[in-house]
A and B are shown apart, each in its own frame.
Chain A
Amino acid sequence: MSKKGVVLLNIEKSFGGNKVLKNLSLEVKSGEFLVLLGPSGCGKTTTLRCIAGLEKVDKGKIFIGDRDVTELPPSKRNISMVFQNYAVFPHMKVYNNIAFGLKMRKFPRQEIDKKIKEVSKLLKIDNLLDRFPSQLSGGQKQRVAVARALAVDPDVLLMDEPLSNLDALLRAEMRTELKKLHRDLGTTTVYVTHDQIEALSLGDRIAVMFDGEIVQISNPKEIYEFPSTIKVGEFIGIPSMNFLKARYENGEIFIGNQKFELSDKIRNEIERKKLKEFIIGIRAENIEIYANKCRGSLCSKILLKEELGYTQLLTLKIEDFTIKAFSKAEIGLGIDNYVYIKFREDKIRFFDCNTRKLIF
């Protein structure tokens, strides 16, 4: 199984006057499953199409392995792709769809046959080879598209929101399967999605993209716990990370008028970095909720209670800020009552007010 990395160096791409990719650089390690995650319209598809060679870049270089492919047509790049709408050729049977890439590469007939048996087994579509795409369900078409992409032993596999057209149940099932496939085959994969759950569960690493730029690239846990900017923290995780403005005065931290007690270690860090005003980020599951006031707790009002079955999601108002928190146990207090909350200290993140970037 071939494995090659991909490197994008200072890529720029415009459509008309609209600059879609702005000096984008990205390294995909060989054998890695990299997820390109970002809101719709941020340029993910364009990035993928540049790697595939379907779009010519205006500036920058693209390497696959150690080959400079910037000027090569798609057919010379040995990549393959799973399209958002599958693009399974409607006039060819499943067999011929999967065989297409191999035929273009002029493989001998027996080898094509062997290869098709192999991948169709792998994707559990070996009983569908004789059908036309119109006789397949969405999930089956999806499998054909993946099989077709894998059959050619690509150096890099590109997938553009491959699960977005499936219903929720199938999507979860296919997600697991794709993960397993990658574990077994180890094909270098670039996977585009706007769905963070997909990204978190599939990616070895995630590249978060906003507005034609990659703002953070790291493993899922790191991205979740240490979002590099406030925007990333807002975009990733359900619910979004909570953000509260805080200030450091006379050796104490305040949120609004409430004093916020933190350990010396953090206070020293703030002191050392000479922070005056900053933004605190904390995730909903890292907030502890108490019915009574206790040491170091902040007072907040319940605005909304949502029952999620395994837990409750509370919307709370603390000073001028609205935050969301999970309450593990039923607290027995209703809307408009006051609760006391504490943040898990090791999970608190500090962001710069102006640059909105992570400080520590």
Chain B
Amino acid sequence: MKLNEKYFPYVLLLPLLLYILLFFFNPFFNALKLAFFDENNKFTLIYFRELLRDPRFFSAIKYTLMFAVTIVPLQLITAFLIALFINRNFKGSKTLLFICSIPLAISDLAAGLIFLSIFTEHGFLNSFFYFLGLIKKPVYFLSYENIPLLFTSILIAEHWRATAIVLIILIAGLQMIEKDYIDAANVFGANFFKRIFYIIIPLLKPSIQSALIIRTLFAFQMFAVVIALAGDMIPVLSGETYFWYYIYRNSHIASCYAVVIIILSLLLTAIYLKFLTYKEPVYENI
């Protein structure tokens, strides 16, 4: 009877543990196997050597990192500003929060297609510029001849899509800050910027950190937005994984790419954790 009770939670967790085993551990180790072992189960680096010979590999790393280091800070800043605005709790702030969370529902592929209708040469942005009299002929935003413009277009689309999650995390964090602190700061004469830098940001640190880590990790997996807007003109790591498997049917090289993604992810998370000490949220006792 007593024994039963003690093991009961583990029994409840059994399906989950089984699932983790089959769908996380299994593919994880298989990926390592595919990347480092050949058909005869012998350790090999030929796949990685092949990877290194592929010029697109280095571009993919370059662009993936470039996306991560530009999008994430941009998103944090916009989300923080919007969060501050929404947190003023004016009439309509709830509506605005809902509006801002709409992109949360939209997939990266859909976001890519939505922005395709804006950035393509027959798109709305060109027509808009035309009506403003800024251009006579359509600008080619999505062309390999102007990679920076293409990059920026993708940046805008991804920023539009994925800022919502940062916003939600930050607002949830803001709402947990007791108003007393801010009132106290007010009483002691802190102005708006001082309040933000000395009270709000430090107290919001755990939320900022979660948002930062989550967003960075997902930025490394950027894929469908890029393909929808740029095809294969801008290589990114996830996209290359996809191409290597989907077109060349080479699961070894594809796995090498996947392994590179996780190595970069771990590296960056470790850096974040090192520079921003992260406290696990305390779950209420039961």
**Is there a contact between chains A and B in the complex with CB atoms less than 8 Å apart?**
yes
Partner-B contacts on A (CB < 8 A): 56, 71
For the complex formed, measure the closest distance between the CB of A49 and the CB atoms of chain B, giving whole angstroms. 14
Tell me how many residue pairs across A and B have CB atoms closer than 8 Å.
3
Q: Summarize A's interface: helix, strand, loop or mixed.
A: loop
Partner-A contacts on B (CB < 8 A): 1-2, 5
For the complex formed, measure the closest distance between the CB of B128 and the CB atoms of chain A, giving whole angstroms. 52
Give the 3 A-B residue pairs with the shortest CB-CB distance, closest first: A71-B1, A56-B2, A56-B5
Chain A residue with Cβ nearest B2? A56
Chain A residue with Cβ nearest B1? A71
CA distance A251 to B217 in the complex (A): 87
Chain B residue with Cβ nearest A58? B2
CB-defined contacts of B1 to chain A, threshold 8 Å? 71
Could you give 3 example pairs across A and B, Cβ below 8 Å?
A56-B2, A56-B5, A71-B1
Chain B residue with Cβ nearest A71? B1
CB-defined contacts of B5 to chain A, threshold 8 Å? 56
CB-defined contacts of B2 to chain A, threshold 8 Å? 56
CB-defined contacts of A56 to chain B, threshold 8 Å? 2, 5
For the complex formed, measure the closest distance between the CB of B284 and the CB atoms of chain A, giving whole angstroms. 15
CA distance A56 to B1 in the complex (A): 11
CA distance A71 to B2 in the complex (A): 10
CA distance A71 to B5 in the complex (A): 13
CA distance A56 to B2 in the complex (A): 9
CB-defined contacts of A71 to chain B, threshold 8 Å? 1
CA distance A342 to B5 in the complex (A): 62
CA distance A71 to B4 in the complex (A): 13
For the complex formed, measure the closest distance between the CB of A235 and the CB atoms of chain B, giving whole angstroms. 28
CA distance A342 to B2 in the complex (A): 60
Chain B residue with Cβ nearest A56? B2
CA distance A166 to B69 in the complex (A): 56
For the complex formed, measure the closest distance between the CB of B2 and the CB atoms of chain A, giving whole angstroms. 7
CA distance A56 to B8 in the complex (A): 15
CA distance A251 to B89 in the complex (A): 79
Chain B residue with Cβ nearest A73? B1
For the complex formed, measure the closest distance between the CB of B7 and the CB atoms of chain A, giving whole angstroms. 15
For the complex formed, measure the closest distance between the CB of B285 and the CB atoms of chain A, giving whole angstroms. 11
Chain A residue with Cβ nearest B5? A56
CA distance A40 to B191 in the complex (A): 44
For the complex formed, measure the closest distance between the CB of A45 and the CB atoms of chain B, giving whole angstroms. 15
CA distance A252 to B46 in the complex (A): 104
CA distance A56 to B3 in the complex (A): 12
CA distance A56 to B5 in the complex (A): 10
For the complex formed, measure the closest distance between the CB of A318 and the CB atoms of chain B, giving whole angstroms. 46
For the complex formed, measure the closest distance between the CB of A223 and the CB atoms of chain B, giving whole angstroms. 34
